[in-house]
Amino acid sequence: MARPSGREGGGFRYLPRARYLVAGAVVLAVLGGLWANLDAARKWLDRQAPVRKVAMNGDFRHTDPQALARWMGDRLEGGFFTADLTRLQVRTEERPWIRSVRIRRQWPDTLRVRVEEQQPRALWSHGGQWRLVNEAGVVFKPLGRGDPGDLPRLAGPRADLDALLERLAVLKERLGGHRITRVRVDARGAWMAEVDGRVALHFGRRNWKQRLARFLRVEREWRLLERAVSRIDLRYPDGLAVATTGQGTRGDRAATGHPPNKG
């Protein structure tokens, strides 16, 4: 018995599988032709309107703007109208000293690039290579040859980096006129700061603000940071201990009769 080719009284007919295949091939051929034409039209447009210039703007201290313009030009795909500026922006912002980039078209053949460089605030390490940190607390590159190496050095776990930056800012503000060269937190959570590259302030693990306030009261009267002092221990409950240059722990002169706290 022959297979029925349709349904009587119905609104459609069954198409054989071969017809589906033919219809699909026609659709693909049409789409392929359209794509080929679009691609050809895009290439023609790129030839008619190429990008001939990449103009750089910004305060460049660590980046050669001409070298950066060449680098961006080498990675530009397309012409004036078709270039993917978002992709180029993302790739440029991956470069070590670049914090942000804005790119816009300027008729007839120029890309205007506004660059904001990273502003290093400190160096950070946790037992390894020193790395540059910006003012937002972002670690953006390892310290290399030619990079600023005289920045304050922050030592401690990555999880404590925000706290290290915060205490650095407080110390710089409260000890104006003196240079904070190092802030460190150890595995026990004990804090230390180095002032002017020679005086170590030991804060311990607790009561950091109170101990700093006590030191500032003593400093206003005794000007310890201007003397031949190498170490100041602030872990005492009601005073501090001072070691002069050349003295060890045994030579500390305590301004209190109590031993230092363990924290």
Report the percent of the chain where pLDDT is more than 90.
Answer: 72
Run of H or E including 119: none
Mean pLDDT on 23-47: 59
State the Cα–Cα distance between residues 237 and 243, nearest whole angstrom.
18
pLDDT at 18: 58
* CATH entry, 50-117, from 1.10.8.870, 3.10.20.310, 3.40.50.1820, 3.50.50.60: 3.10.20.310
Whether 6 shows a pLDDT value over 60: the answer reads: no
The lowest-confidence range among 38-42, 111-115, 201-205 is 38-42
Predicted model pTM = 0.77
Whether 46 shows a pLDDT value over 50: the answer reads: yes
Note the CATH number of domain 120-254.
Answer: 3.40.50.11690
Mean pLDDT on 51-59: 97
| E-only strand ranges, the chain | 53-57, 98-106, 110-117, 120-125, 131-134, 139-142, 153-155, 180-185, 191-195, 199-204, 229-233, 241-244, 253-254
96 DSSP assignment: T
State the Cα–Cα distance between residues 162 and 168, nearest whole angstrom.
10
Sorting pLDDT into bands at 50, 70 and 90, what band is 261? low
